[in-house]
Amino acid sequence: MEDLTMSVADHQTLRVLDGSYVLDRPADVTEVIPRADLLAVVFGPDGSTVMRRDDTGEDAWSALWNGDAAHDVQATGMLSAIVAPLAAGDLPVWVVSSYDGDLVLVPTDRLDEASEVLQAAGHQVRR
């Protein structure tokens, strides 16, 4: 079973989501209004972070989603199989995970480079 899990982790399909995203650190997260441009809200011990779509924003990020293909929620190595090659390629990431999959964000101006690195690692990247 472990070999199957590693095979799934090593050959994932990632879909590039439409648009560009920015990170915000709201002073009061209770004022964040759920709306269509929100991708994620993360509550951390030192404050909250909001990832929202903003196609004109500076320091934009592109989102890659690996949740289109179903895999066991206890499958190991899914996220590390994506993040490790990006780290080896000196590409910064921002990651949010959900029950269904992972969002891996890379700087928009390096999306082509990130796609090449992921494909060289055995993954498919769909746009």
29-81 pLDDT, tens per residue?
888 888 889 999 999 898 899 999 999 988 999 999 999 987 787 888 999 99
What is the pLDDT averaged over residues 14-31?
A: 92
Residue 127 token pair: 């746009």
Domain ranges of the chain: 2-126
Whether the CB-CB separation of 9 and 85 falls below 8 Å is answered with no
The whole-model pTM stands at: 0.88
DSSP structure class, residue 82 = H
Which CATH superfamily does the domain covering 2-126 fall into?
VC0802-like (3.30.2130.10)
Work out the average pLDDT over 16-38.
91
Averaged confidence pLDDT in the chain: 91
Helix, strand or coil for residue 124?
strand
Spatial separation of the C-alpha atoms in residues 81 and 75, rounded to whole Å: 12
**Mean pLDDT throughout 10-15?**
94
Q: Is 81 helix (H, G, I), strand (E, B) or coil?
A: helix
The phi and psi torsions of 99 (rounded to 5 degrees) equal -60, -35
